[in-house]
């Protein structure tokens, strides 16, 4: 600490800390405002393009000329390439089409929808309208991007993995075992199926192999589980009576404020699986759950399930749990197991060269 800092004292340091926070807040607001202004301009430009093409004989050919003229006049702006102008038109047309659920008239866009789509970056908007089929699906990913601060690569991954059609689809007994709104929030937290496309397993993998592989790729695993999951451990030890038990995977969910027990089964779902998971949930509630924690939830991940069998099995279970399937990438042939180089080995070899 220099002499001036000593002289100014703690009051100055406190004021400086608050000032820095205000500046960062202003910077963030400015960035959001710039993004909103840019997207508002893009929306109006898209509307103009669509209108001009309908009311004149210009056709699609004028887009190339428009790109050249705007780029020449504003060379410092990167948004006037022919490809981006086509995306601007596509973006306007996408949200101007009627939605199959809301029956929104062609050419109209509500203030609420517009306020949402202008809150995410342009690159995210391009990804969404390029990959989504309906306004309902698109707005789902817009909202998820806003809530979870997804990067574009994460957003694309979630769209390509079909998150929209998987979220909230797990078979659960939450409605009977949890109070509202906890039951609704918990239901939306679970997916079916879970897609572990970051894993490549041999055909003869067992539950410990799967468990270890998921933890070895914990960042990808947490991304697939969704926002709010905090990893606490694998083969988590529990001492009950005179015996020791081990939970496959244990998490704490920050939004649900509860422990989450995950049991892995590399076979088809069987009703007896719920008994063991029910026991683990009870043990966590008794031994770890503290005041302020919501009831512990169990997730049974299995290779496949019969929907009716799963519903029957959960109907008389008094602890909250859900049953979901998981999907892996194509398995490696047994004769290649261990013979392919790892990512680390490839990177080491490339660095040598």
pLDDT of residue 6: 58
Q: Are 198 and 220 in contact (CB under 8 A)?
A: yes
The DSSP secondary structure of 117-167, one letter per residue, reads: HTSS-HHHHHHHHHH-SSHHHHHHHHHHHHHHT--HHHHHHHHHTTHHHHB
Determine the Cα–Cα distance for residues 208 and 293; give it in Å rounded to an integer.
Answer: 29
Q: Report domain extents, the chain.
A: 3-160, 169-336
pLDDT in tens, the chain (353 residues): 566 655 666 776 777 777 777 777 766 677 767 888 889 999 999 998 888 888 877 777 788 888 889 988 888 888 899 999 999 999 999 998 755 554 544 446 788 899 999 999 999 999 999 999 999 999 999 999 999 989 999 999 999 999 999 999 999 999 999 999 999 999 999 999 999 999 988 888 999 999 999 999 999 999 999 999 999 999 999 999 999 999 999 999 999 999 999 999 999 999 999 999 999 999 999 999 999 999 999 999 999 999 999 999 999 999 999 999 999 975 444 444 444 444 455 455 555 54
For the CA atoms of 143, 145, 146, 150, the dihedral, rounded to the nearest 10 degrees, stands at 170
Instruction: Give the model's pLDDT for residue 350.
Output: 52
Q: What is the pLDDT of residue 337?
A: 44
Q: What pLDDT, on the 0 to 100 scale, is given for residue 264?
A: 97
Radius of gyration of the chain (CA): 26
Q: CA of 289: how far to CAs of 66, 259, 260, in Å?
A: 63, 8, 11
Bridge pairing between strands 321-328 and 171-172: antiparallel
Residue range 169-336 forms a domain whose CATH class is alpha beta
* Interacting residues of 120 by C-beta distance below 8 A, sequence separation 6+: 142, 145, 146
188 burial level (CB within 10 Å; 0-12, 13-18, 19+): middle
């Amino acid at each position: 600490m220099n002499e001036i800092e000593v002289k100014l004292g703690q009051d100055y340091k406190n004021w400086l800390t608050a000032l820095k926070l205000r500046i960062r807040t202003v910077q963030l607001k400015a960035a959001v405002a710039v993004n909103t202004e840019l997207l508002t301009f893009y929306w109006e430009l898209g509307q103009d393009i669509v209108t001009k093409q309908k009311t004149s004989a210009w056709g699609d050919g004028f887009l190339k000329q428009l790109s050249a003229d705007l780029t020449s006049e504003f060379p410092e702006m990167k948004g006037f390439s022919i490809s981006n102008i086509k995306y601007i038109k596509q973006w306007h047309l996408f949200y101007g089409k009627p939605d199959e659920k809301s029956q929104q008239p062609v050419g109209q866009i509500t203030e609420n929808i517009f306020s949402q789509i202008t809150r995410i970056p342009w690159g995210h908007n391009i990804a969404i309208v390029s990959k989504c089929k309906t306004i309902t699906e698109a707005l789902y990913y817009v909202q998820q991007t806003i809530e979870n601060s997804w990067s574009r690569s994460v957003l694309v991954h979630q769209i390509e993995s079909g998150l929209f059609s998987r979220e909230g689809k797990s078979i659960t007994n939450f409605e009977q075992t949890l109070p509202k709104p906890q039951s609704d929030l918990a239901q939306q937290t679970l997916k079916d199926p879970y897609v572990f496309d970051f894993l490549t397993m041999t055909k003869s993998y067992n539950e410990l192999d799967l468990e270890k592989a998921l933890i070895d790729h914990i960042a990808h695993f947490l991304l697939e589980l969704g926002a709010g999951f905090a990893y606490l451990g694998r083969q988590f030890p529990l001492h009950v009576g005179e015996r020791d038990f081990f939970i496959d995977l244990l998490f704490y969910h920050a939004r649900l404020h509860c422990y989450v027990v995950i049991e892995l089964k590399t076979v088809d779902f069987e009703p007896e699986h719920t008994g063991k998971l029910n026991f683990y949930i009870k043990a966590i509630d008794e031994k770890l759950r503290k005041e302020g924690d919501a009831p512990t939830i169990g997730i049974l991940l299995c290779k496949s399930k019969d929907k009716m069998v799963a519903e029957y099995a959960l109907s008389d279970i008094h602890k909250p749990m859900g049953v979901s399937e998981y999907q892996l990438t194509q398995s490696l042939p047994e004769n290649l197991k261990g013979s392919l180089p790892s990512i680390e080995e490839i990177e080491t070899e490339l660095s040598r060269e």
